[in-house]
Amino acid sequence: MTINELRIKRAKAWEATKAFLDSHRNTDGVLSAEDDATYTRMEQEVADLGKEIARLERQEAVDREMNAPTSQPLTQKPGNAKTDTKTGRAADAYKDAFWNVTRSKEPVSYEVRNALQVGVDTEGGYLVPDEFEHTLVQALGHKRIVRDHAYVFQTNSGSHKIPVVTNKGSAAWVDEEGGIPEGDDTFGQQTIGAHKVGTIIKVSEELLNDSAFDLEGYFTSEFSRRIGNKEEDAFFNGDGVGKPLGLLADKGGAEIGVTAASATTITADEIMNLFYDLEAPYRENAIWVFNDATMGAIRKLKGNDGQYLWQKALHEGDHETLLGKPVFTSPFMPEMKAGLKPVLFGDFNFYWIGDRQGVTFKRLNERYADTGQIGFMATKRVDGKLVLPEAIKALQMKASA
């Protein structure tokens, strides 16, 4: 009998065991002595099947090792052998060891453990290989407005302090031999911390053992979707408690540039006023951000000359523009409702994102063993904050209709 057949038999036996227990409890919720003996035999059968499966799996592992070639075939001229010049988490050896541990059911060998030593995380698990992390970060950035346009940096410490000029000094005209007044800048400080975001993916043992299954590609897309959405939501709406401080926060977020006269609609004049409320230096690299419903309303707006404020892209791949500046939409931006901020306009490079260390990856062997699944947990530490609120302006709807 094959391993898969034994697994199916074990699953059916376990379901039958549970059904017997549920149907033979008396009014006090316990089994009679005879039923208890029957249940014990059924439970033992499940355990015995599990031991047989484990024996066959160990046998397969030994067979694979014994059948493996004793040497690698010569594929190039002697003297031209390629050597891996990369080190740390970028090395091919680290990448191979990482994915071997991911798929393997056996204890980690000395060689694999030694290869992974450079990526051991302090909280357990391993840091993902550099190549995988870069792919993951790129996937996180796909259609993620804030991360794509923010200033992103790496940090190995728990917090990163950023000096910020809160008041700029100025020069003055002075009389001949007159004293020159002081005009020092006033400095403040912003702190980027490290908040943890994570998720767990469950994969069946059968799928994990299928060499044709693109495990790396699946993890990249699924982890990036989950963590990316959670990040982007916080970059807009986070309150700074256990998560980044978002652009829409009342304190520390974008400044209010315009308050609409209505609680549900926006006018062309209000869009124009928001555009010019942002100081010219920040307008140079400014972008518009709102959700799809708001975009639908703004596309219909016309200026005093009867021309639409919204302009289509001139070339394929270009962004459509509003008053000459690129437009982006995000599902995490609020609707046009009383008191909310449905429009942001400014230079998002002044929103700083600190990625701490790297993505940590941990295999959970026992947590879902009863369902024949392996859990994989990915976590990362990140923080975000608008270091100069004047760089991004928000349009806020009237508080009430």
Do residues 23 and 100 both lie within one domain?
no
Q: Is residue 14's pLDDT more than 80? A: yes
Do residues 19 and 111 both lie within one domain?
no
Q: Is residue 80 part of a domain?
A: no
- Residue 58 vs residue 399, higher pLDDT: 399
Do residues 159 and 138 both lie within one domain?
yes
Q: Is residue 75 part of a domain?
A: no
Do residues 39 and 103 both lie within one domain?
no
**Per-residue pLDDT, 338:** 95
- Residue 275 vs residue 200, higher pLDDT: 275
Q: Which residue has the tokens 């912003």?
A: 190
Cβ atoms of 371 and 189 within 8 Å: the answer is no
- Identify the bridge partners of residue 288 per DSSP, sorted by sequence position: 327, 345
**Per-residue pLDDT, 273:** 96
**Per-residue pLDDT, 306:** 85
pLDDT confidence tier of residue 326, bands split at 50, 70 and 90: very high
Q: Is residue 142's pLDDT more than 80? A: no
All residues at 6 or more sequence positions from 399 whose CB lies less than 8 Å from its CB, including other chains: 263, 338, 339
Q: Is residue 305 part of a domain?
A: yes
Do residues 138 and 259 both lie within one domain?
yes
Do residues 353 and 385 both lie within one domain?
yes
Residue 143 Ramachandran class (φ > 0 left, ψ -120 to 50 alpha, else beta): left
Do residues 40 and 160 both lie within one domain?
no
Whole-structure pTM value: 0.62
Least confident range of 142-151, 232-241, 314-323: 314-323
Q: Is residue 333 part of a domain?
A: yes
Q: Is residue 141 part of a domain?
A: yes
**Per-residue pLDDT, 108:** 46
Domain, as residue range, for 336? 127-164+186-401
Do residues 347 and 252 both lie within one domain?
yes
The angle at the Cα of 17, spanning 14 to 23, to the nearest 5 degrees, equals: 140
- For the stretch 58-105, pLDDT in tens is 787 777 667 766 555 555 555 444 555 565 556 666 666 665 655 555
Q: Is residue 156 part of a domain?
A: yes
Cβ atoms of 1 and 56 within 8 Å: the answer is no
Rounded to an integer, the average pLDDT of 94-117 is: 51
Share of residues in the chain with pLDDT > 90 (%): 30
All residues at 6 or more sequence positions from 316 whose CB lies less than 8 Å from its CB, including other chains: none
Q: Is residue 293's pLDDT more than 60? A: yes
Do residues 227 and 98 both lie within one domain?
no
Task: Locate 174 and state its tokens.
Answer: 């002075």
Do residues 220 and 331 both lie within one domain?
yes
The enclosing domain of 349 has a CATH number of: 3.30.2400.10
Do residues 204 and 264 both lie within one domain?
yes
Q: Is residue 72 part of a domain?
A: no
Q: Is residue 216 part of a domain?
A: yes
Look at the chain and report how many structural domains it folds into.
3
Do residues 94 and 204 both lie within one domain?
no
